[in-house]
Chain A
């Protein structure tokens, strides 16, 4: 595993090409057949990501169904991202990083108090980003989404190894500047991203940085 697969797609042909600044949220729609790429511009940046059926947000990315269907904990090229209804939402078609996490979830003000110190509560977090995006983005309003819909996410470019004994740790990223992951949408999906603002662990190398998001139409 961990085969590094490059993409033949040219950014000049992309129909969407946006920067999500460090620590910010991003929300958008990717249509069936389109290809979505996330670029870790400066390296070691965790990108907390959730996917929803764009027509019925009750169907959403399921970390556990994805893990048990592929019989493997980490995501890379060939991984099929499975929905809560057992459907394939997206397929990872290229990956120059090699391993992505779907166990570590998102940081939140409340979990920061537990993991680091009670006085860390005011620090910016992924769940705050998710909550803000659900309030601010029209596509979320249309789907009637709320905290109830924030489920267990993917952390692209994040390295959370688990040992055979069951030990789990957040390790320094295996990503690097310019590494990317690319996936083909198998249904119309809404993408909800928090470009992780965590400063208390090595998931962002203690320095959150911007990411680039691209979408291509089917060739």
Chain B
């Protein structure tokens, strides 16, 4: 849906890392860098949480993000807002057009009921993992825990809301090679799990891998698509720039 001009310059790539299906990851993305998420095989789900790295009490806020942008689905142009009215990250490119923001993650009970048990002793690193435990493991590495486990974003997964609020999972929403690019507008602790989406009706446990590609993106320009997408976004960028003013 948008050009990946930055990616045509290989010198802009900082690093690449694979998150195997079901696995979890966390790391620091500095202001002005970006992360390309690639659904390598199609049908992946990447649950993501975002924290201000320098003050982790400030974190991604689902409600503030959705209501400020009048949407329940996230796509290009949208920004991920913190509870302090600032822009943690911006969705600067999106092949699949719409990511779930309100269904949360799978937990151990859901995975067991849906797919059965496959512990490490049986399956080694192909063991069944769930989203909640994966996120909590990563949060723990940064001194965070259950109190910090807030609603996040499920990239590559779409859930459709019916007339009476009934939910249906959009099967086949993402496809092999589909990408989403996040530009970080603050120093952000990113916490990820590639465990299955909790509403994915697929009967077998087969979460897809996601490739992370970090690259230099620079700061949002005055005419940045995400900044000008809505007046609310412009004000959130002002709040962010005031925070970094020196």
Contacts and interface: CB of A to CB of B under 8 A. Distances in A.
Interface of A: 1-2, 58, 62-65, 67-68, 71-74, 84, 86, 99, 103-106, 108, 110-111, 113-115, 117-118, 127, 147-149, 151-152, 160, 162-170
Interface string B63-87: 1101110111100000001011110
A103 B147 contact: no
A166 B72 contact: yes
B95 interface: no
Interface of B: 57, 61-64, 66-68, 70-73, 81, 83-86, 98, 102-105, 107, 109, 145-151, 160-167, 198-199, 232, 235-236, 238-239
A130 to B, nearest CB: 11
Contacts of A147: 57
Contact of B161 (A58, A99, A110, A163): A163
A147 to B, nearest CB: 6
Nearest to B160: A164
A72 B148 CA distance: 24
Nearest to A111: B64
Contacts of A58: 145-147
Q: Which of B73, B84, B147 has the most CB of A within 10 A?
A: B147
A194 to B, nearest CB: 13
A67 B104 contact: yes
B81 A114 contact: yes
B105 to A, nearest CB: 7
Contacts of A73: 102, 161, 165-167
Given A1-B164, A64-B102, A114 B70 contact: no
Contact of A64 (B61, B83, B103, B164): B103
A63 B164 contact: no
A78 B199 CA distance: 20
Nearest to B59: A148
Contacts of A114: 64, 68, 81, 85, 232, 235-236, 239
Contacts of A104: 63, 66-67
21 contacts: A1-B164, A58-B146, A67-B102, A68-B167, A71-B167, A72-B164, A73-B166, A103-B72, A104-B66, A105-B67, A108-B64, A108-B83, A110-B84, A113-B85, A115-B68, A118-B239, A148-B148, A152-B151, A165-B73, A167-B71, A168-B70
Given A106-B63, A115-B67, A166 B73 contact: yes
Contacts of B102: 63-64, 67, 73, 103
Given A65-B104, A114-B235, A105 B199 contact: no
Nearest to A105: B63
Given A67-B167, A72-B167, A110-B83, A168 B149 contact: no
A72 B64 CA distance: 21
A9 B151 CA distance: 35
Contacts of B68: 111, 114-115
A150 to B, nearest CB: 8
Contacts of B62: 63, 103, 105, 152
Given A63-B151, A118-B238, A152-B63, A74 B162 contact: no
A168 B72 CA distance: 6
A189 B47 CA distance: 29
Q: Which of A1, A149, A151, A167 has the most CB of B within 10 A?
A: A151
Given A64-B102, A111-B83, 9 more contacts: A65-B107, A68-B199, A74-B165, A84-B146, A110-B239, A114-B68, A127-B83, A152-B62, A165-B73
A167 B72 contact: yes
A118 B164 contact: no
A68 B145 CA distance: 22
Given A68-B198, A152-B63, A164-B160, A118 B104 contact: no
* 7 nearest A-B residue pairs (beta carbon): A105-B63, A64-B104, A166-B73, A110-B85, A73-B165, A74-B165, A162-B161
